[in-house]
């Protein structure tokens, strides 16, 4: 593989415009295909095999008229909505809304059969049923035009669901902030505008192609919007990082007097090969989400894997071509006031710090591990749940609508249960469901029970149950557990029907149970595959074992920070969080996949350089210092870029996106500081030469990967290359 990468790099150095033209063609083709055959984001959440999903499927199959996409318009006036003037104004609104395109029906809040005026008469709910499964800006604009007369009458108007989120003003792109900070970091690291431009161009090109491919895949597959957000977050970060590592090695090669083609080829064969293995570990970790058994989570994994694969290929093909095109001008256009630093400085801060840590490995190792363990303590109180409109900003229309409904109708109205009764052999399901509904009213924790609805076939009935507590309240989960453990089994025993319950809280509970069951298999898959890859790369048992333990520790610490901020509310105001929220059920597994993969990235880049030095002279202690000396600044820069990219997503108003931004940026911060700068050198120092031990029988079974070799098969080896090859053979 190293020889192939060398040839690609060498060819790119001699004929760069061929590869550049190829990437331009690929980018344009992907963009055109995305525009012509690409699909839309699909936010439909399914959990195959769960009780809540079976109940939802029954409703969809047997109640097609109730599966329409709907949104609510919440109306409020402290003076009341029951006056003749208010009744006439809202009646006109209902009529206007009903005549809009794609609208199948609008509920009248004054209709005796479905009255939705609150008990105090100050709040009303108008429900709009659409003949579509997703709303857009045009639907919101039309609703805004229709409600103008209501607002002019002094009545407060708020939206929930699709209309509410369409109202949200467009925020500045989070990616733009990440790119801006990345440019600053790259400028400080390289000091020249030409060098700074290389990683940015590669990352943006890969981002364009990756997002186009994801859009294309959205046509045949259900791809949620969060999948694109996570993929962009990852692609931007790793795209710049991977290019940074290859570019740094290329500049080091040029500094030794190599020609441009040789410098590019050697950089591609060493740092580029490390990029391939680092990217592979990320992809394996992300694709491991398939084990979750949750389609949305699996698609998020595949979308992110596509993006990482694209950036990885761009780093070892497009970047070498760009480096070949600029040639020795890579250090042109120097930035004023940025001091040029030597490529490899034995007196650098990284070298002095590494020497200090390796002199006291036990003290540094134990104390740092304790810090991470303390940060992980909040994990034990993690509570899972999907954030809802009650977690939106207080000024948003969705939050205003949520609060108005809670105040006017009770907190549980924002998250009712739907009990589904299936009884194909029941003579009179309608009468039976009335009896069941009456019994449910007596259950502790139930605020109200709606009138049963029976389908045309008379074999399925639905009953809406409103809890006394809000959707995210732990008492609501307790009520659900009682329904499933005692209430509904008793109904089944007495009536012979099949009783199921669905809704937001039941779905959250089922998701949590599914993830809890699948988590051991997921962890075994991700850690196991990563262990095998690192064992092949480094020809060692202890290095991948150490990496797995340290990565799990750093991920646990990041989890703890997320729980402390979002669930406990520590420093919540700092991150723009108005209310404490449970942890999104999908977050722990998705974050573990991303973070474990990224941690392996830095592991490969650092430890590959340490191993390279060890194979040169055989001094384990010295190799650790030299490896950190040559990679310390670039890994720190890469980490800062990743933190900037992930941290920019904290600015997003969506609390779920904020959650990923805080968790991922915190994890990278911990990894590039406490783990890479302290725990890794401390552990390798304690292990010494034993770190590179591999049983002979296992060595024969594993495929041979030469991570250190950089020369082409047909190129005469230098004296340093010969020494390296001899040492490698002896190892």
Q: The whole model's pTM is what? A: 0.79
CB 580 within 8 A of CB 506: no
Task: Report the range of poorest mean pLDDT among 79-83, 140-144, 346-350.
Answer: 346-350
- The size of the chain, in residues, is 731
Mean pLDDT over each residue of the chain, to the nearest integer: 85
Flag whether pLDDT at 99 surpasses 80. Answer: yes
φ/ψ of residue 220, rounded to 5: -85, -20
Burial of 553-575, coded b for 16+ CB within 10 Å and e otherwise, reads: bbbbbbbbbbbbbbbeeeebeeb
Flag whether pLDDT at 378 surpasses 90. Answer: yes
Phi-psi label, residue 727: left if phi above 0, alpha if psi -120 to 50, beta otherwise: alpha
Locate all alpha helices (DSSP H) within 394-503, ordered by sequence.
397-409, 429-440, 474-482, 488-495
> What would the mean pLDDT of 547-561 be, rounded to a whole number?
91
Distance of CA 692 to the CA centre of its chain: 34
List the end-to-end C-alpha distance of the chain, in Å, as a whole number. 20
Flag whether pLDDT at 651 surpasses 50. Answer: yes
Q: Could you tell me which of 629, 730, 635 has the C-alpha nearest to residue 689? A: 730
> What would the mean pLDDT of 632-661 be, rounded to a whole number?
83
> What would the mean pLDDT of 279-284 be, rounded to a whole number?
87
The percent of residues above 70 in pLDDT, for the chain, comes to 92
Q: How confident is the model at residue 31 (pLDDT cuts 50, 70, 90)?
A: very high
> What would the mean pLDDT of 303-317 be, rounded to a whole number?
94
Torsion of CA 350, 354, 356, 359, to 10 degrees: -170
Residues forming beta bridges with residue 500, ordered by sequence position: 420
């Amino acid at each position: 593989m190293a020889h192939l990468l060398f040839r690609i790099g060498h060819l790119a150095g001699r004929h760069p415009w061929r590869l550049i033209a190829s990437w331009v063609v690929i980018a344009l083709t992907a963009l055109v295909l995305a525009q012509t055959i690409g699909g839309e984001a699909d936010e439909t959440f399914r959990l195959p095999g769960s009780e809540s999903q079976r109940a939802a499927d029954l409703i969809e199959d047997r109640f097609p008229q109730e599966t329409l996409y709907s949104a609510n318009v919440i109306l409020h006036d402290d003076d009341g909505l029951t006056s003749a003037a208010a009744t006439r104004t809202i009646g006109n609104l209902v009529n206007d809304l009903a005549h809009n395109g794609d609208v199948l029906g609008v509920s009248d809040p004054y209709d005796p059969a479905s009255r939705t005026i609150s008990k105090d008469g100050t709040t009303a709910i108008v429900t709009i049923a659409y003949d579509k499964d997703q709303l857009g800006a045009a639907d919101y604009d039309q609703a805004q035009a229709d409600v103008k007369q209501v607002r002019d009458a002094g009545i407060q108007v708020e939206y929930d669901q699709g209309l509410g989120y369409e109202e949200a003003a467009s925020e500045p792109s989070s990616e733009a902030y990440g790119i801006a900070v990345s440019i600053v970091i790259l400028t400080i690291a390289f000091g020249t505008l030409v060098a700074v431009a290389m990683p940015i161009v590669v990352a943006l090109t890969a981002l364009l192609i990756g997002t186009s491919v994801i859009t294309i895949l959205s046509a045949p597959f259900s791809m949620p919007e969060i999948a694109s957000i996570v993929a962009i977050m990852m692609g931007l970060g790793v795209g710049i990082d991977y290019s940074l590592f290859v570019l740094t090695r290329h500049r080091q090669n040029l500094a030794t007097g190599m020609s441009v083609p040789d410098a590019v080829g050697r950089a591609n064969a060493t740092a580029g090969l490390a990029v391939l293995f680092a990217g592979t570990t990320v992809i394996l970790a992300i694709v491991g989400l398939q084990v979750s058994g949750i389609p949305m989570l699996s698609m998020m994994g595949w979308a992110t894997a596509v993006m990482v694969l694209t950036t990885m290929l761009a780093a070892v093909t497009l970047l070498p071509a760009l480096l070949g095109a600029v040639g020795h001008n890579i250090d042109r256009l120097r930035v004023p006031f940025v001091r040029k630093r030597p490529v490899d400085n034995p007196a650098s801060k990284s070298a002095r710090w590494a020497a200090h840590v390796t002199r006291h490995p036990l003290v540094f190792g134990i104390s740092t591990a304790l810090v991470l363990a303390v940060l992980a303590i909040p994990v034990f109180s993690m509570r899972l749940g999907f954030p809802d409109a009650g977690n939106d900003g207080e000024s948003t229309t969705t939050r205003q609508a949520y609060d108005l409904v809670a105040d006017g109708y009770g907190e549980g109205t924002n998250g009712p249960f739907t009990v589904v009764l299936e009884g194909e052999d029941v003579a009179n399901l309608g009468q039976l469901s009335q009896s069941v509904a009456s019994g449910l009213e007596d259950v502790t924790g139930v605020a109200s029970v709606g009138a049963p609805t029976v389908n045309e076939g008379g074999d399925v009935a639905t009953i809406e149950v409103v809890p006394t507590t809000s959707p995210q309240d732990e008492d609501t989960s307790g009520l659900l557990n009682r329904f499933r453990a005692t209430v509904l089994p008793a109904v089944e025993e007495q009536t012979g029907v099949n009783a199921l319950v669905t809704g937001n809280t039941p779905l959250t509970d089922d998701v949590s149970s599914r993830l809890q069951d699948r988590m051991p298999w997921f962890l075994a898959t991700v850690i196991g595959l990563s262990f095998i890859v690192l064992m092949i790369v480094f020809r060692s048992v202890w290095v991948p074992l150490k990496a797995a333990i340290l990565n799990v520790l750093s991920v646990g610490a990041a989890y703890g920070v997320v729980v402390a901020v979002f669930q406990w509310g520590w420093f919540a105001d700092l991150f723009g969080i108005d209310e404490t929220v449970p942890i999104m059920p999908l977050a722990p597994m998705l974050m573990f996949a991303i973070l474990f993969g990224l941690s392996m990235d830095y592991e490969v880049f650092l430890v590959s350089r340490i191993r390279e030095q060890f194979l040169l002279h055989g001094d384990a202690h010295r190799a650790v210092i030299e490896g950190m000396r040559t990679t310390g600044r670039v890994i720190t820069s890469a980490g800062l870029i990743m933190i900037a990219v992930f941290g920019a997503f904290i600015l997003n108003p969506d609390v779920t996106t904020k959650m990923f931004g805080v968790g991922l940026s915190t994890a990278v911060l911990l990894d590039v500081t406490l783990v890479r700068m302290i725990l890794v050198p401390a552990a390798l120092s304690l292990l010494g030469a034993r770190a590179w031990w591999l049983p002979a029988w296992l060595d024969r079974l594993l495929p041979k990967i030469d991570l250190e070799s950089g020369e082409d098969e047909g190129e005469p080896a230098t004296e340093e290359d010969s020494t390296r090859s001899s040492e490698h053979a002896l190892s």
